[in-house]
């Protein structure tokens, strides 16, 4: 692997693998019926992280597991395409109109406000994630031996709070192990800064592998 901090990342992946393959069953969470975990990594190490997850997935499959990855970028584009052409066109026009605004943050605030109801609600992107997870598990023989990685999270920056995504998905995964691949940095014991840019969010229940 070619991570900037190979010892830390390799240690996190090894710990995750050991907890998934624990003799008494997956141990990635100590919270009953909340089988989630978070694996943070430096945002500029996206491609090495993907290769590492592919390698881990192969190892798990060799041990009799089912593995799959939910591509959040694809789900985001699919969700936006379901919106009316008028909505998307008006969004583009508005964004272009603000291109030369003295306050460069106005465009971003406008986009965040317009997209919040589409993405950051129980009926938003989280509902699409649940549908894909159910499809994956319908093909698996045993949910408890199926690990699902939520990847391409960076595509949601800065339009969706990842803590909200997990909150809306919780309870709808048939207790299959779900691991969120998180581009960002750990702040303190439980804080996570999305992409290493946003203020640290401490509203997380899952175990953070670090």
* Residue, of 84 and 43, whose pLDDT is higher: 43
The answer to whether residue 101 scores a pLDDT higher than 70 is: no
Q: Which domain holds residue 133?
A: 6-80+122-208
Contacts of 7 (CB under 8 A, 6+ apart): none
Share of the chain above pLDDT 70, in %: 94
Q: How far is CA 84 from CA 53, 79, 80, 123, 161, in A?
A: 36, 11, 9, 17, 24
* Residue, of 201 and 186, whose pLDDT is higher: 186
pLDDT of residue 74: 95
pLDDT of residue 60: 93
pLDDT of residue 41: 93
How many other CB atoms sit within 10 Å of the CB of residue 3? 18
Whether residue 194 contacts residue 154, with contact meaning beta carbons closer than 8 Å, is answered with no
Do the domain assignments include residue 109? no
pLDDT of residue 54: 94
Do the domain assignments include residue 88? no
pLDDT class of 200 with cuts at 50, 70, 90: confident
Local structure of 162: helix, strand or coil: helix
Do the domain assignments include residue 31? yes
Do the domain assignments include residue 1? no
Cα–Cα distance measured from residue 35 to residue 160, given in angstroms and rounded to the nearest whole number: 21
| pLDDT tens per residue, range 106-142 | 877 888 888 887 888 899 999 999 999 999 999 888 8
The answer to whether residue 17 scores a pLDDT higher than 50 is: yes
For the chain, what is the domain count?
1
The answer to whether residue 27 scores a pLDDT higher than 90 is: no
Do the domain assignments include residue 169? yes
| pLDDT tens per residue, range 136-181 | 999 888 877 899 999 999 988 888 888 889 889 988 998 899 999 9
pLDDT of residue 152: 96
Whether residue 130 contacts residue 121, with contact meaning beta carbons closer than 8 Å, is answered with no
Do the domain assignments include residue 113? no
Do the domain assignments include residue 133? yes
Cα–Cα distance measured from residue 69 to residue 32, given in angstroms and rounded to the nearest whole number: 23
- Report the greatest alpha carbon distance in the chain: 59
Give me the CATH number covering residue 164. Answer: 3.40.50
Do the domain assignments include residue 99? no
């Amino acid at each position: 692997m070619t991570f900037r901090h190979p010892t830390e990342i390799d240690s996190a992946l090894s710990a995750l693998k050991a907890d998934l393959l624990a003799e008494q069953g997956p141990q990635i969470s100590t919270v009953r019926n909340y089988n989630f975990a978070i694996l943070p990594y430096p945002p500029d190490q996206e491609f090495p992280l993907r290769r590492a997850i592919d390698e881990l997935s192969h190892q798990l499959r060799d041990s009799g597991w089912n593995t799959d990855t939910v591509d959040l970028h694809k789900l985001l584009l699919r969700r936006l395409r379901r919106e009316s052409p008028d909505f998307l066109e008006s969004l583009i026009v508005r964004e272009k109109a603000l291109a030369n605004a003295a306050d460069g943050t106005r465009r971003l605030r406008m986009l965040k406000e317009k997209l919040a109801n589409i993405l950051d609600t129980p009926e938003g992107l989280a509902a699409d994630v649940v549908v894909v997870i159910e499809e994956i598990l319908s093909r698996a023989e045993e949910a408890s031996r199926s690990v699902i990685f939520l990847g391409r999270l960076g595509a949601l920056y800065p339009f969706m709070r990842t803590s909200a995504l997990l909150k809306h998905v919780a309870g709808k995964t048939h207790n299959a192990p779900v691991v969120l691949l998180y581009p960002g940095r750990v702040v303190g014991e439980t804080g996570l800064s999305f992409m290493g840019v946003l203020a640290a969010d401490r509203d997380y229940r899952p175990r953070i592998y670090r």
